[in-house]
Structure 1
Amino acid sequence: MLAAEIIKKPIITEKSMLLVENENKYTFSVDKRANKIQIKNSVEELFNVKVVKVNKINSLPKKKRVGQHSGFKPAITKAIVTLAEGSKIEIFEA
């Protein structure tokens, strides 16, 4: 898989922005089939930073209902990437 296929998009929420400010951790939505080593290599390749640690989170699909119609929200895989001291990703600085 290519690096652009592994990293789908950044996750920007209040909690993820607090992680960026306080602990230098960045959150991404990633491909389900990717492992931690592939995630680390693709973040380093795409953003030219040094990755120290990768935590991968698999979420289950959630059941949702609107009136009589029911279905599922899709299952996603998140990766929380810890960068080395002094490294930053500029897309999160807005």
Structure 2
Amino acid sequence: MSVLKRPILTEKATALSNLGKYVFEVSKTANKIEIANAIEKVYGVKVASVDTMRSIGRKKSRMSRGKAISGITSTYKKAIVTLKAGEIIDIYSDIA
């Protein structure tokens, strides 16, 4: 199973990329060392630090045909990867 699942491309993540920080969704069981090694292997850059956080799933509901449908969003783990000075990752090159 891969440590890196996908890059997170939101407005806040794009603003962080200007500072040399990139946001990825990672495996729930991955630690900071595994994440740093995976980033260095996949993108060929040097990682300065890794910060992780868990986004807990929350309850959501909506109306459908007069009935309320309830559910819960998925819990996932995010990693904010800070690269060494001068290093960049071109995330948008993979999107085609």
TM-score by length of 2: 0.88
Shift of 1:59: 1.1
Show the 5 A alignment for 1:55-74. 55-67=51-63, 68-74=68-74
For residue 37 of structure 2, the aligned residue among 32, 37, 41 is 41
Deviations 1:54-87 (A, max 9, x none): 0001011110001211110001110000000010
Unpaired stretches in structure 2, ≥5 consecutive residues? none
Of the two, which has the highest radius of gyration? Answer: 2
Q: Which amino acid aligns with 2:9?
A: I
Q: Which has the higher strand share?
A: 2
Structure 1 residue 45: Cα displacement: 0.4
1:53 to 46, 49, 53: 49
> Which residue type is aligned with residue 84 of structure 2?
A
Which one of the candidate residues 19, 24, 27 is aligned to 2:20?
A: 24
Local SS of the residue matching 1:70: strand
Distance 1:92 1:25, change over 3 A: farther
Q: Percent identity?
A: 42
Partners of 2:5 and 2:51 lie apart in 1 by 16
Deviations 1:12-39 (A, max 9, x none): 1111111111x20000000001000000
- How many matched pairs? 90
* Unmatched tracts of structure 1, length 5 or more: none
The RMSD of aligned alpha carbons is 1.5
Q: How far 1:92 sits from its partner (Å)?
A: 4.2
Partner of 2:89: 89
